[in-house]
Amino acid sequence: MKIEVKKLNALGKYTGSFKFEYDAPADLCLVPLCKIDGKVKAEAKYEIYADDSVGVSLKIAYRITGQCSYCLKDAARDIEKVYDILFVTEDDSENYYYDGVNIDLTTAVNDSILFSQPNVVLCNDCAGIDADNK
């Protein structure tokens, strides 16, 4: 999961896209009694800017399986999210830093997985809390 920025610059490939699959660490799922089932699928489009910063549009898709957060029956939920990420060569504490040569996407992908997780996973029988039901 690396973007070789220096090499792409030398080849004049300032934009592009790629796909990959990723085995997420087991402890990355924050939903109780659940896990990330299978590989995380990722698609990315990149653009290298004149100041050597790199914009990445990252689309992730994965499945969470486990027990329903309400009744404990088997449950699953498919997650798909898109994040726009900026990698910069000077650490500004707002964007992801890289050394100007290669970008390792591992941290950005892991963060995207963490941010995209639901609070609960429900089975087909549990509709969730009905706020209008008094």
Q: Rounded to an integer, what distance in angstroms lies between the CA atom of residue 102 and that of residue 123?
A: 42
DSSP 20: E
- Tell me what the pLDDT averaged over the chain comes to: 92
pLDDT at residue 134 greater than cutoff 60 = no
Does the global pTM surpass 0.85? yes
2 torsion bin: left (phi>0), alpha (psi -120 to 50), beta (else):
beta
Query: What digits encode the pLDDT tens for the residues 8-26?
Result: 999 999 999 999 999 999 8
* Percentages (nearest 5) of helix, strand, coil residues in the chain: 15, 45, 40
Query: What digits encode the pLDDT tens for the residues 69-79?
Result: 999 999 999 99
- In this prediction, residue 128 carries a pLDDT of 63
Tell me which residue of 36, 27, 1 sits closest to 108, measured CA to CA: 1
pLDDT at residue 132 greater than cutoff 70 = no
